[in-house]
């Protein structure tokens, strides 16, 4: 599954570049992620995910495959498996930075593969929550990079929908604006809550569609 997002951080290119190269600064900003070890270009850690009744603890490791100073591009690969055997996940993440005035815009391309229960049950909502997760990441990173002076930064994240040539228009994810809600580090990402009320405000149409689907399912069950 390919996901594409961009984020904006109110800091200059060099600062952000240094930050993304440093797992110890980046990782804590990834919701649910905890860094356990860093060894040069390699790092290992855990990611906690809640998917309704299913809670997963991905243990894994990652590495910087490429850091291109000129192109301001960094490519990371991370892979992990759930400690309870509920499946595996791996992602190749490409972050490309460019300056935009005093801010820095990051383009993030994620090539994600997941298997097992999360794939079976949560697959459909992942593109949907992906952008939201990155929002939290950007917010967190901004907070870390921005001086204390600007504690509640007004930020804007523009998300571009994942390339989806075949799917009907209804499938393109919504465009969330940034909301400064820093995630407590290493708290599990609750995918359902991500997809839930906080999204509802800004992706009313998509949520409506979801609700209709759920309603239909509910009715179908009742009619059984």
Partner 1 sequence: MTSTLEPEVGKARRRKEDARLITGRTRWTDNITLPGMLHLAVLRSPVAHARITRIDTSAALELPGVVAVYTASDLDPEGAIALPCAWPITPDMKHPRRPVLAADTVHFAGEGVAVVVARDAYLAHDALEAIDVDYEELPVVLDMEAALADGAPLVHPELETNRNALWVFDSGEAGTGGDVAAAIDEAGASDDAIVLTRRFRQQRLVPAFMEPRSTVVDPTGAQTTIWSATQVPHILKTMTALTLGLPEHKVRVIAPDVGGGFGGKIAVLPEETMAVLVALKLGRPVKWTESRSECMITAHHGRDQIQDITIAARRDGTITALKVDLIADMGAYLGLVTPGVPILGAFMFNAIYKIPAYRFACTNVFTNKTLTDAYRGAGRPEATFAIERIMDELAAELGMDPMRLREQNWIKHEEFPYTTVCGLTYDSGNYEAATGRAMELFDYEGLRREQQQRRESGDPVQLGLGISTYTEMCGLAPSRVLGSLSYGAGGWEHAAIRMLPTGKVEVVTGSSPHGQGHETAWSQIVADQLGVAFEDVEVIHGDTQSSHKGLDTYGSRSLTVGGIAVVKAAEKVVAKARKVAAHMMECSEDDLEFAEGKFTVRGTDKSTGIGDIALAVFAAHDLPDGIEPTLDAEAVYDPENFSFPHGTHLCAAEVDTETGRVRLRSYVCVDDVGRAVNPLIVEGQVHGGLAQGIAQALFEEAVHDESGTLTTGTFADYLLPSAADLPSFTTDRTETPATSNPLGVKGVGEAGTIASTPAVVNAVVDAVRHMGVNDIEMPCSPLRVWAAIHRRDPGGSGIGGAEAGGGLGSISSTEGGVQ
Q: Which of 55, 172, 186, 198 binds partner 1 (CB under 8 A)?
A: 172
DSSP class per residue in 102-115: TEEEEEEEEEEEE-
The residue from 53, 101, 148, 224 that contacts partner 1 (CB under 8 A) is: 224
186 forms part of the interface with partner 1 (CB under 8 A): no
Provide the minimum distance between the beta carbon of 112 and partner 1 in the complex, in angstroms, as a whole number. 9
CB of 200 to partner 1, least distance (A): 15
% helix / strand / coil in the chain, to the nearest 5?
Answer: 35, 35, 30
Selected binder of partner 1 within 22, 120, 201, 211 (CB under 8 A): 120
φ and ψ at 46, to 5 degrees?
-130, 155
What mask, x for binding partner 1 by CB under 8 A, covers residues 130 to 169? Answer: --------------------------------x-x-xxx-
Q: For residue 175, state whether it binds partner 1 (rule: CB under 8 A).
A: no
Q: Is 199 among the residues that bind partner 1 (CB under 8 A)? A: no
Token pair recorded at residue 70: 């000129």
Task: Kindly state whether residue 88 participates in binding partner 1, applying the rule CB under 8 A.
Answer: yes
Rg for the chain, CA atoms, rounded = 18
Strand 189-190, strand 42-51: pairing:
parallel
How far is it, in rounded angstroms, from Cα 110 to Cα 1?
A: 8
Give whichever of 18 and 83 is closer to partner 1, judged by the CB atom. Answer: 83
CA 147 – CA 219 distance, rounded (Å) = 53
Q: What are phi and psi of 90, to 5 degrees?
A: -145, 150
How many residues are there in the chain?
224
Chain contacts with partner 1 (rule: CB under 8 A): 1-2, 81, 83-88, 113-117, 119-125, 127-128, 162, 164, 166-168, 171-173, 206, 213, 216-217, 220, 223-224
């Amino acid at each position: 599954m390919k996901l594409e997002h961009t984020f904006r951080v109110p800091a200059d290119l060099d600062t952000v570049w240094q930050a993304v190269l440093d797992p110890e600064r980046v990782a804590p900003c990834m919701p649910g992620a905890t860094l356990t070890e860093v060894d040069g270009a390699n790092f290992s850690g855990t990611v906690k995910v809640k998917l309704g009744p299913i809670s997963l603890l991905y243990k894994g490791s990652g590495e910087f495959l490429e850091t291109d100073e000129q192109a301001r591009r960094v490519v990371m690969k991370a892979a992990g498996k759930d400690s309870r055997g509920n499946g595996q996940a791996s992602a190749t993440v490409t972050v490309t930075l460019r300056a935009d005035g005093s801010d820095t815009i990051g383009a993030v391309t994620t090539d994600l593969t997941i298997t097992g229960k999360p794939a079976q049950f949560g697959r459909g909502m992942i593109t949907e929550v992906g952008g939201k997760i990155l929002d939290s990441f950007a917010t967190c990173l901004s907070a870390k990079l921005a001086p204390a002076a600007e504690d509640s930064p007004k930020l804007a994240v523009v998300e571009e929908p994942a390339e989806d040539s075949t799917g009907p228009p209804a499938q393109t994810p919504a465009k969330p604006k940034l909301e400064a809600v820093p995630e407590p580090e290493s708290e599990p990402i609750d995918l359902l809550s991500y997809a839930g009320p906080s999204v509802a405000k800004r992706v009313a149409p998509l949520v409506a569609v979801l609700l209709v689907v759920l309603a239909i399912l509910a009715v179908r069950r009742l009619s059984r």
